[in-house]
Amino acid sequence: MNDLTRYIRDVPDFPKQGILFRDITPLLQNPAAFAGAVEALAGPYRDGRIEVVAGIESRGFIFGAALARLLNVGFVPIRKPGKLPAEKVREEYQLEYGTDAVEVHRDAARPGQRVLMVDDLLATGGTMAASCALIERIGGRVAGVAFLIELTFLKGREKLKGREIHAVIQY
User: How many CB atoms sit inside 10 A of residue 32's CB?
Assistant: 10
Contact 42, 67 (CB under 8 A): yes
39, 57, 59, 110: the active-site residue: 59
Please indicate whether residue 96 is annotated as part of the active site.
yes
- The question of whether 59 is a catalytic residue gets the answer yes
Give the Cα separation of 50 and 75 in Å (integer).
11
Q: Is 88 left (phi over 0), alpha (psi -120 to 50) or beta?
A: beta
**Catalytic: which of 6, 46, 49, 96?**
96
For residue 113, is it left (φ>0), alpha (ψ between -120 and 50) or beta?
beta
What residues act catalytically?
59, 96
